[in-house]
Structure 1
């Protein structure tokens, strides 16, 4: 009986560790990066912008801006009109 408890406990530990490591080891976060978004105009403060399309771990499109002065990353509201214009400019510059 004691051997079964130890074996089951060991199996649970192994499954838990491998499940957690499988996604993080690939550089994939198992959740959304943004918990909230900024909709105020901060265009002049932005150094760079990254666009993350929906994926199996996050159903939302995420737009993350890095600020010039502090290097802080801020999630932008993809529905804000000024953010839409910024994304359109980025996509237009990428096209050949």
Structure 2
């Protein structure tokens, strides 16, 4: 009976360890800083994702006309100017 209790405890312990979060920093869409520049004529949509509990970084993701998505470097001058122009166009 003691063996059954120990095996049961070890199974519960293994299930708890397996269920722990592998990504303590959160899950960001962008794996790295991103590109500094993209041709404006190929940009279809701009997404600005603010920092959140899951990802501490502000992320700027552009969808290109070819349906590809690229992450932009949020600190680059190009990205900052792109955001300013996009905000001015909003109604």
Match of 1:44 in 2: 41
The answer to which structure has the higher helix fraction is 1
Give, in whole Å, the separation in 2 of the partners of 1:91 and 1:54.
18
Match of 1:33 in 2: 29
Q: Which has the higher contact order (CA 8 A, sep 6+)?
A: 2
Structure 2: which 5+ residue stretches go unaligned?
none
In the TM superposition, structure 1's runs of 4+ consecutive aligned residues that sit over 3 Å from their partners are 14-17
Give, in whole Å, the separation in 2 of the partners of 1:15 and 1:93.
50
Instruction: Give the greater-gyration-radius structure (CA).
Output: 2
- Give the C-alpha shift of residue 32 in structure 1: 1.2
Tell me the matched-pair count.
84
The answer to whether structure 1 residue 86 and structure 2 residue 74 are counterparts is: no
**Map of 1:5-84 to 2, 5 A cutoff?**
5-10=7-12, 12-13=14-15, 16-17=18-19, 30-36=26-32, 37-69=34-66, 71-84=67-80
Give, in whole Å, the separation in 2 of the partners of 1:45 and 1:34.
20
Structure 1: which 5+ residue stretches go unaligned?
21-29
Aligned-pair Cα RMSD in Å: 2.3
- Give the C-alpha shift of residue 91 in structure 1: 2.2
